[in-house]
Amino acid sequence: MSSKGLRSRGAGRRFAAGVVCALLTALCAAPAAGTPAGPGGRGLSAVIRYTEYGIPHIVADDYAGLGFGTGWAQAQDQVCVLADAFLTVRGERSRWLGPDAVPDPQGSFAGSNLASDLYFRGVRDAGTVERLRATPAPVGPSRAATELGRGWAAGYNAWLRRHRITDPACADAGWVGPVTPVDVSALEYAAGVLLGQGRAIDGITAAEPPPSGPDRGAARTVGPGPGPRGAHPRTDGRPHPGSNAVAFHGSTTQDGHGLLLGNPHFPWHGPQRFWQSQQTIPGELNVMGGSLLGSPTASIGHTADIAWSHTVATGVPMNLYQLTLDPADPTTYLVDGKPERMTGRTVTVPVKDRAPVTRTQWSTRYGPVLTTLDTTGPLPWTRRTAYAVNDPNAVNLRGTDTALALARAHSADGVRAALHRTQGIPWANTVAADARGHTLFTQAQVLPRVTDDVARRCSTPLGATSYPSSGLAVLDGARSDCALGTDPDALQPGVFGPAALPTLQDAPYVENSNDSAWLTNADHPLSGYPRVFGTTGAPPSLRTRQALQDVAALADRGHLTVEDLQRHQFADRSLAGDLSADGLARLCAAAHPGAPDREATEPGATAAACHVLARWDRTLNTDSRGALLFDRFWRRLVAGTAPEELWEVPFSPADPLRTPHTLNTASPAVPRALEGAVAELRDAGIPPASRWGDSQFVVRHGDRVPIPGGSAELGVWNVIDARWDPAGGGYTEIESGAAYLQAVGWDGTACPVARTLLAYGQSSDPRSPHSADQTALFSTRRWVTSRFCESDILASPALRVVTVAE
């Protein structure tokens, strides 16, 4: 046996012994709590060791106990956010909060509580989640996954029974109550369909047959659908999750081990927050990572051997079918000339202070009928035509098993095998590195099996436009030969199997910033995949260009360490600034020669602003001066200028990382955008030379905390999206962006070298000491040293051991 194998086995024995000692110590020291319980005793139980920043290290002897400890600990930190999420998947928002309020736009595409409730009540009335839970593995969830969920619900309920809620968001609220394992699975289901059926909630719940009388006409246009990029912030306030991730091969690192930097961009508020923990079943599972709230597993994380992260992929996880209707009955559609009846299901939603609302939802062999899709144009149900949405993730409840399989993997090859075996990821790529120096990128999504051939043969006029532009296929539902086939290695019908997935292994680096798989490594471009996966040869976002330039340079330099990853995360360079600030400064100098250097509040304001831009350091660090002025200028310019008019040198697929470039200063849009930005800051009373952190900040415990990073439009790796509030001083609250960060490597010892950072802290309760402690770290670019090994956990000066039991 190799020395490494001996070291690993020895480390495993020492780890197990340390855990047992810690468990025994905790159980002996802990006061009795309810029924006698503990590892090996009656009822579910777990031991939770808290270290700095309120990070729990949860130990149990089986999956149900691990779920119990996780549910308990998540409830302690996030009970109000979790209760609100359960209100959603139970279809009870209207009952408690009224039908007209809008769910958190960072977590839902529903336009109102009523629409959300009608959709999720429909899911519940149909028994969809229960049916998926009962499906035998591997198509359905494994026993381990089911036990985790059962334990999570029990742990959450036990915490509620024993604690009084102090968070003002839901203290004394009648809608906070116990949950069931089905509720926990319903959260997984809702996350899975978020970017599929979730984008059609309003259209599904509003769809009704046309009244008798003249035909209202068929739809002639369709919008871009569920766009191919999470790289660009949406402007409608709806979810726009995104991410960056990069893995470096051992050939580029200091000691031959792999490196991984994960930087997901998710909401800072609501049910899509991350929460950090370590989960351990001695001898079975040991993983540290960030979980989406309500999840009993680590969504992204690291073990002793591997590290992985996910990025929102460009694959479109649904397609539409255009139905040809029976002229005599708009609830009957034709397939190969034969009539098929739609299925109608009556859904009733209780409503606060009003009568219940009852609607009928209609479904077809392809999926539910809809009349709108997110921000697309209308898809009207006429007497001749209707549309149905096919979302393969509406029958996929394998996400927990995929997360467990990743946490059990021991290599990059093992990560790939885990993804192929479980096939549970709905809308994300996976980037991984391992201790032996290997790397992996794979777009292992559950996608409708829309091949380019199917799209060519079966696209309707709408699909002929939408599929090439966005990957959203609109197929002819009147032809049975337009049904989606099944790959032989796919777990479920109508989806691509693992062999079709864009994948790159063991390149010097693999990187993704929400563009397609094409430029995962600029020297090893991926191609040949169907359009539904994403584009090839199309302009990448500025963020992708900046990221690829930077990581390629790092890989070429070599001898990389975790510290290099940490510096890269907070470099906060703006490619938009690098590409355009010089040209803008020259334009300014020509228009305002010899202009004074003064604040932009007088007639010479634009000239003075030019001097500010000339001295700007092209970053969005908190102390950067001129960043706010450029940010407001750039947003105005991009919003009002076609991409082909923005640059003098156009995009070339042969040089995708350096084109387009050179700001087209001859365009009248450029000085107009600058003048508008100057006026905007002047009206808000904000000096253009003010520090970036003076205008991008959050208020925590009464103090302003400056926040680095900025919009993806600026080409910044460290994405931060905030709402512009000039009356409040600028960007005064973060909506989404950098969330759970991890920089992971290995040094040949039993413990990984890992640094983590949860940008908004573990708790959303403003009274918690962990509601802002890591935000202060994020503000000053400091990280948390991951306490993964037993010796590190037990050495924590903040160590607090709690035994939790039924």
Half-sphere exposure of 544 (CA within 13 A, CB side): 27
Compute the distance between CA of residue 1 and CA of residue 167 in angstroms, rounded to an integer.
54
Give CA separation, 183 vs 128, 151, 550, 627, in Å: 12, 12, 43, 45
Compute the distance between CA of residue 249 and CA of residue 751 in angstroms, rounded to an integer.
19
Compute the distance between CA of residue 637 and CA of residue 298 in angstroms, rounded to an integer.
40
Half-sphere exposure of 128 (CA within 13 A, CB side): 22
Residues 6+ positions from 409 with CB-CB distance below 8 Å:
303, 305, 306, 415, 417, 418
Helix (H) or strand (E) holding 697: strand 697-700
Compute the distance between CA of residue 204 and CA of residue 694 in angstroms, rounded to an integer.
44
Give the DSSP letter of residue 51: E
Tokens, residue 13: 């024995």
Tokens, residue 378: 């209308």
User: For strand 242-248 and strand 509-512, is the pairing parallel, antiparallel, or unpaired?
Assistant: antiparallel
User: For strand 357-363 and strand 343-349, is the pairing parallel, antiparallel, or unpaired?
Assistant: antiparallel
The answer to whether 428 touches 445, Cβ cutoff 8 Å, is: yes
Give CA separation, 368 vs 204, 450, 480, 661, in Å: 7, 18, 18, 45
Distance in angstroms between the alpha carbons of the first and the last residue of the chain = 44
Can 243 be counted among the known catalytic residues? yes
Tokens, residue 634: 């750039």
Tokens, residue 605: 């304001």
Tokens, residue 301: 């994380």
Cβ neighbour number for residue 456 with a 10 Å cutoff: 10
Compute the distance between CA of residue 330 and CA of residue 209 in angstroms, rounded to an integer.
6
The answer to whether 117 touches 349, Cβ cutoff 8 Å, is: yes
Compute the distance between CA of residue 201 and CA of residue 210 in angstroms, rounded to an integer.
19
Q: To 10 degrees, what angle do helices 181-192 and 63-89 make? A: 70
Of 45, 94, 108, 243, which one is the catalytic site residue? 243
Cβ neighbour number for residue 294 with a 10 Å cutoff: 28
Tokens, residue 381: 């149900």
Catalytic residues: 243
